[in-house]
Amino acid sequence: MTRIAICAPATAITRDHAAAMEAFVAAEYPQHSVWFHDQCFETFAHYAGDDLTRLNALVECANNPEFDAVWFAKGGYGSNRIAQAATARMNDAAREKTYVGFSDMGYMLAALYRAGIGQPVHGSMPVSARSERGRGALRRVLNWFSGDASGVEPSVDGKTPTVAFNLITLAMLVDTPLLPDLTGHVVMVEEVSEHLYAIDRLFFSLANTLPRLAGLRLGAVTAVPENDRDFGQTPEEIAKFWCDRAGIPFLGRARIGHTADNHVVPFGVASPPQAP
């Protein structure tokens, strides 16, 4: 059995979200268990509790040897405010865990990866359990916990270190104490709700700061707002343009993003956990 603790380092979920996730796991994955920290349901302004509340809950889940994994409940802005302090307080038990999330949780995954704590994994989050499309994405993560790699992004080869981030999150990580050394990595990026000119601007930043990559893959770019004029390039054309300018190999598309097709990407070079 994989014993999974769920906390919310950024924004809150409801108890209905938790109930849906608990019922889903009990019905389809009885070999796993999920436990929601009460902090998931707290609210303080934009966040699931103030910074100290979120920090303490995350550290409590990470440092508890009774859990095998920490699954972040939801994205939304906020995890960057506590990520560095959290890794500084994590113990030996925390170093044995798997940590799953994406989008804003890229800040946490980056901090964990940089600190060499556990196995960070890009994957969909429990907030999605109330819809069948969402549960489809969650099955990829739960299957991976079961030792089944069928839900891993198909290009992951188990040889080249790989990471996956939301594009704006990765751009914001540059020149901060959270950014790991990505030299020689395949970097996958996805984006949601950004204008195409903003996507171009983000690639401009990354092309000038992360030039020593093994390659870049572009995931889904969704919910692009309509601008007052046509930008003139598609997201893939933007990615290719900046990769060519920086000398970064553009490796094609990746099945990650804010969609039901979001696939699992273990950070680094990783194999699925052994089946229970």
Angle between the N-to-C axes of helices 235-246 and 196-207, in degrees from 0 to 180, rounded to the nearest 10: 20
Chain-centre distance for alpha carbon 253: 17
- Does residue 67 or residue 276 have the better pLDDT? 67
- Does domain 162-253 match CATH 3.40.50.300? no
Please compute the mean of the pLDDT values over residues 134-157 and round it to a whole number. Answer: 97
The model's pTM: 0.97
In the CATH scheme, what is the homologous superfamily, with its name and number, of domain 2-150?
Answer: Murein tetrapeptidase LD-carboxypeptidase, N-terminal domain (3.40.50.10740)
Mean pLDDT of 184-205: 97
Q: Assign 275 a pLDDT band (cuts: 50, 70, 90).
A: low
Tell me how many helices (H) and strands (E) the chain has: 8, 10
CA distances, 109 to each of 26, 70, 81, 103, 205 (Å):
27, 11, 13, 10, 20
Q: Which of 119, 167, 128 is nearest to 261 (CA)?
A: 128
pLDDT of residue 162: 98
Confidence of residue 170 (pLDDT cuts 50, 70, 90): very high
Residue 28, pLDDT > 60, answer yes
| Cβ-contact 87, 177 below 8 angstroms | no
Average pLDDT of 2-17? Answer: 98
Q: Angle 44-137-156 (CA atoms, 0-180°, nearest 5)?
A: 110
Instruction: Output the average pLDDT for the chain.
Output: 97
Q: What is the pLDDT of residue 211?
A: 86
Higher pLDDT: 263 or 274? It is: 263
Q: Indicate the pLDDT class of residue 272, thresholds 50, 70 and 90.
A: confident
Give me the mean pLDDT over the 216-229 stretch: 96
The pLDDT, as a whole number, for residue 207 is 94
3-state secondary structure 54-72: HHHHHHHHHHCCCCCEEEE
Q: Above 80 in pLDDT, residue 226? A: yes
Q: Where are the domains of the chain?
A: 2-150, 162-253
- Asked if 93 and 64 touch (Cβ cutoff 8 Å), the reply is yes
pLDDT band, residue 271 (cuts 50/70/90): confident
| Alpha carbon distance 128, 13 (integer Å) | 10
Res 204: pLDDT = 97
Instruction: Please tell me the distance from the alpha carbon of residue 47 to that of residue 45, in angstroms, as a whole number.
Output: 6
Mean pLDDT for 179-207 is 97
- What's the pLDDT at 157? 93
